[in-house]
Amino acid sequence: MAGGALAELAKRRGFFFGANGAYGGTAGFYTFGPQGAALKRNVEEAWRDRFTRKEGNREIEAPTVMPEAVFEASGHLDGFDDMLVECGECGESSRADHLVEDATDFEDAESLSGGAVEDLIHEHDVACPSCGVALAGRDVENFNLMFATDIGPGDAHPGYLRPETAQGIFVEFPRLKEYARGSLPFGITQIGPAYRNEISPRGGLLRLREFTQAELEQFIDPETDEPPLDRVADVDVRLYPADEQAAADGEYRDTTVGEAVADGTIGSAWVGYYLGVAREWYERVGVDMDRFRFRQHLAGERAHYAADCWDAESEVGGDWIEIAGFAYRGDYDLSKHGEHGDDAFTVFKRYDEPKTVERATVDPDMSVLGPEFGGDAAAVADALETLAGRDPGAFEGETVTVEIGEGDDAETHEVDADVANFAVEETTENGEHITPHVVEPSFGVGRTVQTLLAHAYETDEVDGEERTYLALEPEVAPRDAAVFPLVTNDDRLVELATRVADDLRAAGLSVAYDDSGSIGRRYRRQDEVGTPFCVTVDRDGIEGDGPETVTVRERDSAAQVRVPVGELAAELATLRAGGEFVSLSERYDSVETDVETTTN
């Protein structure tokens, strides 16, 4: 389906549209309308169900503004850049690597240096996409994507809007590990907004400056913790590994999670586990599995924190887009916060049996070091202690050599070995402090929503008329059902339709009530926003001696059955939870219509 038709439908029917239109619009910011907000919420709830509840994980909600020190530690201040080139003619800023990828065979120009990208712009005569003037000779600069702000009045406390929800989890690790009673493995999730000052926002919800992420940080002991791989070992996956991408005739590898982990295509069993869980989840919420793959990152493409990374990608409008990333982040994040932060970003790993270990110690005689080294005495004592742990053999001679300070300020000092009071003691240890490793499935909610809409968009013919409908899964569709009185000039039908709608809402279903226009038009309106079931109250349903009945029409097949009112809420709830409409057809009378559907 063309992106234009989806964008038009999204705006006209209240899924999403560019924000702040009354003030000329703000690129990179979108508002979700009533249908879109409901769809997005349902996607988030389905994610929460699978990645938080079913995995036994815990969800948190951290602030979106964080102090500068957090991003110094995380590496975002220095490394979270995109390549920017500004047009000398019209001033338009563009992603230099994207322009080069569009003009050449390079697939990951992001991994090249700025100078190399400048050369390619020159060689391939790359022009400004806005005014068409050549960009050759323009500088390619690193542009940091974080939005800066000040915390409180004045500029003494710089802060940033978080560029990923993950940092809110890492920073709180010292407390979160207590809630997990210090025991690995455990997983923390968070769903919320992230902010990136993208150079060229584009593609509807695909590249925004404010977007929603659903992230899971799985903390593990890399030496002992194994994922429950057997649960997903048989899940089929279409992989596009880095070596296949590099090969001229590279192909997909259609395999199972179990095989791909066993043969090393997926290097980490934890990453493999989450690829399997994600594959099942995407299918559950309605991603078309013929338009879905997992692509491994090329070495130059990986984020500064990632040891290995796979993306879930979906095909939308002829392009493959990244909808989630699965990174093995190792101990990068917790080690960095451990170096910069005040608290302990480690857990205590208890040994099965206490261990007796030899430990080298020093007890420097400060009454000697003080007069000898003056202001450097404490640093010399620290250096002796570090050296004892690292190289006990250094204390075997009459003097010990230590270095204090760094770089140009480094100084070497000789210390009498007796003054150091070196000794080797035997101690019993019950365990050690280790820095957990992190495995991170990170989902873009907006990109998932856009994929679902694109993959659900269908046209066919019903009653000789062309219709557009969204074949959204009932679990995520904005509304569970719509209720119509067949005509509005019969009070009995209106009264029953109102009561049915009220009862369904009281049962927790999200229900539209529509009494305007022909019944065919009302069906089309609901089809276009993906309402899976339409309930029509007609005279046949209230006449006669039996219980009141209504017709229930299934969106995709347009088939109808007659269901007793008293059973309606339970039946619709079952359908929403994944039940099949065909089971209703088996138990209730079909309503004959002259409907014929032909999918285009």
- 295 phi, psi to nearest 5 deg: -115, 130
- 392 phi, psi to nearest 5 deg: -55, -30
Is the Cβ–Cβ distance between 131 and 89 less than 8 Å? yes
Is residue 192 within the footprint of ligand GAP (CB under 6 A)?
no
State the burial class of residue 517 (Cβ atoms within 10 Å of its Cβ: 0-12, 13-18, 19+): exposed
Residue closer to ligand GAP by CB (options 198, 538) is: 198
Residue closer to ligand GAP by CB (options 186, 211) is: 211
Return the residue of 119, 322, 382, 567 that touches ligand GAP, per CB under 6 A. Answer: 322
Of the candidate spans 126-134, 206-214, 247-255, 348-356, the one that interacts with ligand GAP by CB under 6 A turns out to be 206-214
Is residue 208 within the footprint of ligand GAP (CB under 6 A)?
yes
Is residue 292 within the footprint of ligand GAP (CB under 6 A)?
no
Tokens of 177: 């590990």
CB of 210 to ligand GAP, least distance (A): 8
Is residue 40 within the footprint of ligand GAP (CB under 6 A)?
no
Looking at residue 591, what DSSP letter applies? P
Is residue 313 within the footprint of ligand GAP (CB under 6 A)?
no
What lies within 8 Å, CB to CB, of 219 at 6+ separation is 173, 177, 180, 184, 185, 186, 187, 188, 436, 437, 438
Of the candidate spans 148-156, 207-215, 425-433, 580-588, the one that interacts with ligand GAP by CB under 6 A turns out to be 207-215
Integer Cα distance of 452 and 472 in angstroms: 7
**HEC profile of 432-493:** EEECCEEEEEEEEHHHHHHHHHHHHEEEEEECCEEEEEECCCCCCCCCCEEEEECCCCCHHH
Tokens of 217: 């940080």
Distances (CA, A) of 528 to 14, 354, 560: 11, 66, 18
Return the residue of 447, 455, 467, 479 that touches ligand GAP, per CB under 6 A. Answer: 447
What lies within 8 Å, CB to CB, of 168 at 6+ separation is 60, 62, 63, 64, 66, 162, 190, 192
Of the candidate spans 39-47, 83-91, 368-376, 442-450, the one that interacts with ligand GAP by CB under 6 A turns out to be 442-450
Integer Cα distance of 85 and 129 in angstroms: 11
What lies within 8 Å, CB to CB, of 54 at 6+ separation is none
Residue closer to ligand GAP by CB (options 148, 487) is: 148
Of the candidate spans 18-26, 211-219, 265-273, 388-396, the one that interacts with ligand GAP by CB under 6 A turns out to be 211-219
Residue closer to ligand GAP by CB (options 308, 538) is: 308
Return the residue of 118, 215, 301, 308 that touches ligand GAP, per CB under 6 A. Answer: 215
Integer Cα distance of 73 and 292 in angstroms: 35
Return the residue of 338, 444, 485, 530 that touches ligand GAP, per CB under 6 A. Answer: 444
Of the candidate spans 209-217, 275-283, 497-505, 584-592, the one that interacts with ligand GAP by CB under 6 A turns out to be 209-217
Distances (CA, A) of 345 to 126, 272, 338, 465: 47, 26, 5, 63
Is residue 328 within the footprint of ligand GAP (CB under 6 A)?
no
Is residue 164 within the footprint of ligand GAP (CB under 6 A)?
yes
Is residue 522 within the footprint of ligand GAP (CB under 6 A)?
no
Is the Cβ–Cβ distance between 206 and 224 less than 8 Å? no
Is residue 135 within the footprint of ligand GAP (CB under 6 A)?
no
Of the candidate spans 322-330, 452-460, 545-553, 582-590, the one that interacts with ligand GAP by CB under 6 A turns out to be 322-330
Residue closer to ligand GAP by CB (options 28, 258) is: 28
Of the candidate spans 17-25, 177-185, 444-452, 504-512, the one that interacts with ligand GAP by CB under 6 A turns out to be 444-452
Per-residue contact string for residues 70-109; x = within reach of ligand GAP by CB under 6 A: ----------------------------------------
Return the residue of 33, 258, 446, 532 that touches ligand GAP, per CB under 6 A. Answer: 446
Is residue 14 within the footprint of ligand GAP (CB under 6 A)?
no
Is residue 450 within the footprint of ligand GAP (CB under 6 A)?
no
Residue closer to ligand GAP by CB (options 208, 476) is: 208
Is residue 110 within the footprint of ligand GAP (CB under 6 A)?
no
CB of 258 to ligand GAP, least distance (A): 25
b/e for 464-492, b at 16 or more Cβ within 10 A?
Answer: eeebbbbbbbbbbbbbbbbbbbbeeeeee
Is the Cβ–Cβ distance between 119 and 138 less than 8 Å? no
Is residue 159 within the footprint of ligand GAP (CB under 6 A)?
no
Q: Is 299 left (phi over 0), alpha (psi -120 to 50) or beta?
A: alpha
Of the candidate spans 81-89, 316-324, 477-485, 577-585, the one that interacts with ligand GAP by CB under 6 A turns out to be 316-324
Return the residue of 85, 323, 362, 384 that touches ligand GAP, per CB under 6 A. Answer: 323
What lies within 8 Å, CB to CB, of 145 at 6+ separation is 80, 81, 82, 163, 196, 197, 198
Is residue 571 within the footprint of ligand GAP (CB under 6 A)?
no
Q: Select from 203, 183, 440, 436 the least CA-distant residue to 314.
A: 203
Residue closer to ligand GAP by CB (options 170, 373) is: 170
Per DSSP, the three-state class of 155 is coil
Number of chain positions touching ligand GAP (CB under 6 A): 18
Integer Cα distance of 325 and 296 in angstroms: 9
Which residues would be at the binding site for ligand GAP (CB under 6 A)? Answer: 164, 166, 196, 198, 207-208, 211, 213, 215, 322-325, 440, 442, 444, 446-447
